[in-house]
Structure 1
């Protein structure tokens, strides 16, 4: 059974979708930064549910159908994004859940395990790193008029770099935004990355469900990731597996290796031929087995 609904969480509206029966062990999927829940493949979610799990995915605030904020003025922080994940569990009356986090979602999962260990049954960290250190921005509070271009936000006080200056994407244009999303996925991927038609359908769905993609990408970067937890990972007692692509160029081998060393008892499992991407279909059997075995 699949059910999508809007739920009041932490003073905002969040879009939450569930797969499977609520009586099964709960499994919460945490998407990357500036990413709606659409990036978790529908069939992947159904297969997790078929494995006897109650699967939950949701749109971060400022993504998908969840509450959106003006570009350059996110009224939230990275810590709030973690609280949103806990709020989803509360709204569904789930005392705890198995967490599966991709990239930034892995950073959220680490923080939940450190600060709210009773809410976390297991950790599956995919394409993650300690504190997601390669993408740690400063939180910026903007309180004056601004203009947004493809690469920066200009206020009456300062200019904040939002993305590389070569990014001239018009995120309000469906064709331009979809093409950019496809290019980004393929640039981060490997030989098993889905072909262009599949990515196009997915990117079009993301665009059509999003209120303002330019705001999404800028605001999540401004919100940051919250206080670091590197020195606290040794306190995690939750069963943990680290899944990492051998072709991940954003977080090369030393990042997942450090993560696996930092969390007591964590196992590092390599995904051959996979880049910095959600697990492509070619490795689904391996990934599903790891998740389901851990989230028993």
Structure 2
């Protein structure tokens, strides 16, 4: 089965004026609901199909969606902040709040008909998932946060967790606004965020991205609006859902020590460090991560 055939039809959820694109992995399989929340500036296609297969084999019904300002979901009007770094340091978001982004996930759950779900977030999605667990604890069965900063960090406090040199390189990725340019930008970003201790197979990455009609990795304005969304809710110390904190040992963007900080602050959380993994989900991580999520769900059933 091809990566395209593995997914059900695109569907839509609404949070006010924002329309959110989502789909389900082989919906005929059923299983325990699990919602995947993606990262900064990318769309739902960036979650590896092979990893979703592992989750399905462990009994999960997997759904994924595009953030606002990402993929096929609603893109907001331009704002003054067009650089992700300056947007990160701003005192307030210009377009929407982090609470709005957390509520987007709930809108998708509602449209799926899921009263609750296991929530898995990667990168920015990990921070969003933490906020969903804080804002809507009754909708979250378990929380898995991968390669994320603390969900309650903002502005200058975020800098202690980020390798600014890598973020600056990410912000400088510029390619023509064409399909070919989007693929080339995606390859550059994947290479930038991959583990330096694992061989980078550019041909495989390019072939995967050529199946993706819109990656969004070089849309700095959309990235700025996403990263600039400020959280004004409670601290992550108040998360009361079963939690797994995951990080690649070779992450070139978010310092691996960040995972220790998050795990120490969320009561009862577990920590999983992935060898030979950067700011990504390479194939060598799929089985151990899916098994850890299954164990988390079973232990706290």
Deviation at 1:171, TM superposition (A): 4.6
Q: With the length of structure 1 as denominator, give the TM-score of the two structures.
A: 0.80
SS of structure 2 residue aligned to 1:275: coil
Superposition misfits of 4+ residues, deviation over 6 angstroms: 134-137, 162-166
Change in Cα spacing, 1:254 to 1:2, as seen in structure 2 (3 Å) is closer
Q: Distance in 2 between matches of 1:193 and 1:38?
A: 22
Contact kept in structure 1, 2:8 and 2:24, CA below 8 Å: yes
State whether structure 2 residue 50 is matched by structure 1 residue 43: yes
Q: Distance in 1 between matches of 2:49 and 2:142?
A: 22
Contact kept in structure 2, 1:136 and 1:225, CA below 8 Å: no
Q: Distance in 2 between matches of 1:32 and 1:165?
A: 13
Change in Cα spacing, 1:85 to 1:118, as seen in structure 2 (3 Å) is same
Contact kept in structure 1, 2:13 and 2:107, CA below 8 Å: no
Q: Which residue of 1 aligns with 2:34?
A: 27
Deviation at 1:57, TM superposition (A): 0.5
Q: Which residue of 2 aligns with 1:127?
A: 147
Deviation at 1:237, TM superposition (A): 1.6
Change in Cα spacing, 1:135 to 1:57, as seen in structure 2 (3 Å) is farther
State whether structure 2 residue 268 is matched by structure 1 residue 265: yes
Deviation at 1:166, TM superposition (A): 7.9
Change in Cα spacing, 1:133 to 1:221, as seen in structure 2 (3 Å) is farther
Question: C-alpha offsets along residues 152-205 of structure 1, whole Å, 9 cap, x if unaligned?
Answer: xxxxxxxxxx97698261351333332222122112211346511221123333
Change in Cα spacing, 1:135 to 1:124, as seen in structure 2 (3 Å) is farther
SS of structure 1 residue aligned to 2:250: coil
Q: Distance in 2 between matches of 1:221 and 1:183?
A: 19
Deviation at 1:281, TM superposition (A): 0.4
Q: Which of 184, 189, 194 is residue 184 of structure 1 equivalent to?
A: 189
Give unpaired runs (5+ residues) of structure 1: 138-161
State whether structure 2 residue 100 is matched by structure 1 residue 80: yes
Q: Which residue of 2 aligns with 1:57?
A: 64
State whether structure 2 residue 74 is matched by structure 1 residue 67: yes
Q: Distance in 2 between matches of 1:168 and 1:292?
A: 37
State whether structure 2 residue 290 is matched by structure 1 residue 288: yes
Q: Which of 122, 127, 144 is residue 107 of structure 1 equivalent to?
A: 127
Question: C-alpha offsets along residues 135-163 of structure 1, whole Å, 9 cap, x if unaligned?
Answer: 879xxxxxxxxxxxxxxxxxxxxxxxx97
Contact kept in structure 2, 1:171 and 1:213, CA below 8 Å: no
Question: C-alpha offsets along residues 235-289 of structure 1, whole Å, 9 cap, x if unaligned?
Answer: 2121111111111132223211110000001111110111111x21012111111
Map 1:135-174 → 2, pairs under 5 A: 167=172, 169-174=174-179
Contact kept in structure 2, 1:101 and 1:124, CA below 8 Å: yes
Moved more, 21-30 or 265-274: 21-30
Moved more, 249-258 or 16-25: 16-25
Deviation at 1:232, TM superposition (A): 2.0
Contact kept in structure 1, 2:96 and 2:225, CA below 8 Å: no
Q: Which residue of 2 aligns with 1:96?
A: 116
Give unpaired runs (5+ residues) of structure 2: 1-5, 81-93, 158-166
Change in Cα spacing, 1:70 to 1:90, as seen in structure 2 (3 Å) is same
SS of structure 1 residue aligned to 2:235: helix
RMSD: 2.9
